[in-house]
Each structure stands twice: as C-alpha cells, then as structure tokens.
Structure 1
C-alpha cells in the first residue's frame, strides 16, 4: 500500500480548467459535508489576519473568515453538489471537545450554503469554545455518510489549523482513503500550517492522496480574483482524487 501512494500535484491554473476536468472524469453525483472548528484557539488566531479579533466574531460591519468561506463555497463549490443537502457539523466546543461533533442545524441537514451561513450566524454567538482540536470524529462521521449513501462526498473542514490530537487525526485520514471521500481543509487565521501541509503531501499509508489543504488568508490576499482562486485551490485535486476513487472500485455497485 505504501509503495502505491503518490501525492497528487496541483496542476490547474483556472477555475474553468478544474471544472472541465471534473466533468471529464464523469463526476455527476457528489455530496458535500461541512465542518466548523469551535476550539479556543480561534480567539487568538486572528491576531495578524483578522484585526486581532476572534475568528468567530460576528458583527454587522465585516464578515469573519468562516462567514467568508461559507459565502464563497456557496457561490462556487455548491455547483458540484447534486442535491444541495449539506450535513453540517461543529466540533471542539465545550460540549463535544475532541470526542464528538454536533449538528449545526438541530434535527437535520442544511439546504445549500445559504442555510449553512444562516445557521452559523444564529448559533455561533452561543457556542462555548473549548479544546483540544481533533478532526477524527468528523472524518469518521463523513465515512459513515459515504457508507450509508454509497456516494462520493467532499468533506470540507474549516479550522484554525492548531490540531492537537495529531495521531488520531492522521489515522482517520488514512482510514478515509478506503472510501469514496475527498477531504479539503481550509485554514483560517494566522497559522502556522506545518501539520496541515504534512497531512496534504505525506501520510504514505493512505491508499490514495485524499487530502487537500488551502491557506485561506494567503489565497485571498495574493490573488487578483480571490474568490475564484480560492475555489480553484479547494477543487484542485478533486479530478485526480475522483479518478483514483473510480479506479479503486469504491463506487462499484
């Protein structure tokens, strides 16, 4: 298994290119799953990139990084979701800590990213941030959804990057490579992003390269067309990941 692993290169330069490649791979049915990091480190991760405020600060005069990400995904990536039903979860709060997740919308999924944003805005002021950070419960939930639906999914995790349960998260990413699941982690805030980049290009125990990391602030501050370039970076590896998933037979039957 280790010998077969090969990191997928970023080979597209425009959003239409990657969209065309996705269509060419025959990606007709895709589900989206969305996760939000509610750990305590969000309070200090905006020191350089968000005016020194908490990354979850909600005000009328500016959008926080999570709100920006949700809006842009709604304008771009939602196009690839055939039913617009988005299971959306939070993790790292005082209730779930690093052992579980909670539904953003109690009792059901969100319909489109517009409802994801509305729900986020409504619940976030009352969520108690906590610690530590562990992506594993969310990744295992995404695997469960793939098993139940027998359908390809993209899991989008928006986080400040400070993963503390590193071994558990690594194992979850490796396990996820046995299922029709792509994982995109969007890093918001100041970083550093060393662990995220390691997840992106290493972890050779995986069956295929199923993980893409995007530094939100870097993309948004260095591009002439930030939203389009951000979407491009998110989707960059999807065509090759989907091809690998088909070649592995994960979608057969």
Structure 2
C-alpha cells in the first residue's frame, strides 16, 4: 500500500502511516556543503573526462530557483529562507512525529575541511545523541553554516549512506536517512553511491535524497529506478524545485478527486499549504511499501 494522493492534512498523512504500523523511526539528515551550491561546476578543473564535464556542466546553484544566489545564503533579517531552510521547515511539520526518541542525527558533507570519504556531525560534542528537535536542527544549521567553507570536490553520497548504515547496524528499528543534495554525481561517485545503496538494502534503512536547486538530476533517477541488485527498493529521489512549481496544480487535482471520485473524507480546512502537502507526500509515499518489505525480509 502507498499513501494516496488526496490526503489534505498533516494529521491525515500521519494517521495513514500509523494505520500501517509505522509509528516511529530513527531520523538522520545529511546536508551538502559542496561548491555546487554556489557556482557552475563546469569551471572546476578536477573533473575526470569529458563525460563527467558534460554531466556537471549545468549551473547547479539556484540560478532559477534562488535568483542565482548561494543556496546556503542566510538572510540577516530572517525574512527570506534559503532552500535548505525552507526544506527543513517543511520536513519538520510532519516528520517530527515519527522520531520517538527525539534524537535526530544531522551530518554535513562535501565541505572544504571534511575528508571526501567522511561526514561531520552537527553535534560534535555527542554525535550519537544528535539534535533533540527540528528547532535545534534549524538553530544548528543557522549557527554552523556561516563558518563552513564549501568544498571543491563533487558530491559523493556513498560515504553519507555508509555512515547511516553503520548507525542502522548499531541501533535497532526503522531508520530514515534524508539527504539534502545540490548536484549531480560524477560517474565514479555514481558507482560508489549505487553500491552503498545496494549494501544498505540489507538493513531497515529508507534513503531519501532531496534535490536542492536547479539540477539536472538525471543520475538520481538512475539510482531511484535502476538498481536491481537491491533486496528491496530503498531509495527515493524528490526534486524540491519541481515540487514547488507543481504544488498549486497538484492541489487542484487532489480537490478534484475528492469532489468527483468520492474519495475517503479528509480533514477540512486543509492544514498544510500546497507545497507542504505535495512535499510531504513525495517524501513519504514509498515509505509504507519499504517498511512492509523490511518486515517480509525480517529486517525488523
């Protein structure tokens, strides 16, 4: 069973997940600090081969989605949210209810200081304890981001996923890793990330990548749909900018279904704005099926 696309409230979505016996999860977040957040990667000279250069030749900062600004730009007045702040805000509205121990591990990757095969913790004093709320994640992000120098190397999600699998081996229960990433992957990093996803399918870990900025996202679709070696489909990609663009249109479709197709009743008025609603559905839509597969494979 998947989440039906006519839930119009936060409460309805949460209740649907609970009805599938998915009442809690161990949440983990990872945030991309590569220079893909601010510049065209075509200017980087470290890429190997013409194929990688073509793949990363697009401007992957927010040329269209954030007026060409650094995706991590912090507005001193606090009136304008950057895409990461916006995504974290929207994620917090629903997902906080499914982290029962109020411990959310948050990592950064791709910055100039952290080795390419590692991540850094937002709570270095006690990484395993993590943040206690989405408010704390927000505060840590706002405090840390101005101190971080973006790294020149292209993003590699493999180390991020392997870090999460290590946690999933040590801590029992269902785990959800949400990666906020700003760029495509080189051929080498695509292969490494794909192998990490395959390896993670032996654990109760759902991996969700949210594409920040303008893309392109071709190889994220490859990871989402073309890894038959996995024990189950444990990966989902969500294009944040596409969600924002289509939210109003999709809202009309949902309402039309309810009016014309006799869909089951939902809360009224709508508790989520259209972008919140569609974003939540895109994030969570595959989770119930993944959870069911984990149970059948005796991973839970």
Q: TM-score, normalised by structure 2?
A: 0.77
- Find out whether 1:84 has 2:102 as its counterpart: yes
Instruction: Decide whether the 8 Å contact of 2:184 with 2:218 is kept in 1.
Output: no
List gaps (5 residues or longer) in structure 2: 40-60, 249-273
The structure that has the greater radius of gyration is 2
Instruction: Decide whether the 8 Å contact of 2:3 with 2:281 is kept in 1.
Output: no
Give the aligned partner of residue 151 of structure 1: 173
C-alpha displacement of 1:63: 0.5
- Find out whether 1:52 has 2:68 as its counterpart: yes
Alignment of 1:120-199 (within 5 A): 120-130=141-151, 131-164=153-186, 165-199=189-223
RMSD of Structure 2 on Structure 1 (CA): 1.6
Alignment of 1:201-240 (within 5 A): 201-224=225-248, 225-240=274-289
Q: What do the CA deviations read for 1:81-107 (whole angstroms, capped 9, x no partner)?
A: 112210000000012242100001221
Distance (Å, rounded) in 2 between the aligned partners of 1:28 and 1:217: 29
Q: What do the CA deviations read for 1:50-86 (whole angstroms, capped 9, x no partner)?
A: 0110101111231000000111111112211112210
Instruction: Decide whether the 8 Å contact of 2:204 with 2:294 is kept in 1.
Output: yes
Give the aligned partner of residue 114 of structure 1: 135
Most deviating of 241-250 and 163-172: 163-172
Q: What do the CA deviations read for 1:131-184 (whole angstroms, capped 9, x no partner)?
A: 221111111111111111111110000011322311111100110111000001
C-alpha displacement of 1:28: 2.7
C-alpha displacement of 1:19: 3.5
C-alpha displacement of 1:11: 5.8
Alignment of 1:2-17 (within 5 A): 12-15=4-7
What SS does the aligned partner of 2:277 have?
A: helix
Instruction: Decide whether the 8 Å contact of 1:21 with 1:239 is kept in 2.
Output: no
Distance (Å, rounded) in 1 between the aligned partners of 2:183 and 2:97: 27
After the TM superposition, which parts of structure 1 deviate over 4 Å for at least 4 consecutive aligned residues?
15-18
Most deviating of 72-81 and 186-195: 72-81
Give the aligned partner of residue 5 of structure 1: none
C-alpha displacement of 1:222: 1.5
Q: What do the CA deviations read for 1:11-50 (whole angstroms, capped 9, x no partner)?
A: 6203466534422321133110000000111103111110
Q: TM-score, normalised by structure 1?
A: 0.91
Alignment of 1:53-68 (within 5 A): 53-59=69-75, 60=77, 61-68=79-86
- Find out whether 1:27 has 2:48 as its counterpart: no
Distance (Å, rounded) in 1 between the aligned partners of 2:183 and 2:289: 25
Aligned residues: 243
Note closer, same or farther for the CA distance 1:49–1:190 as it changes in structure 2 (3 Å cut). Answer: same
Distance (Å, rounded) in 1 between the aligned partners of 2:112 and 2:86: 24
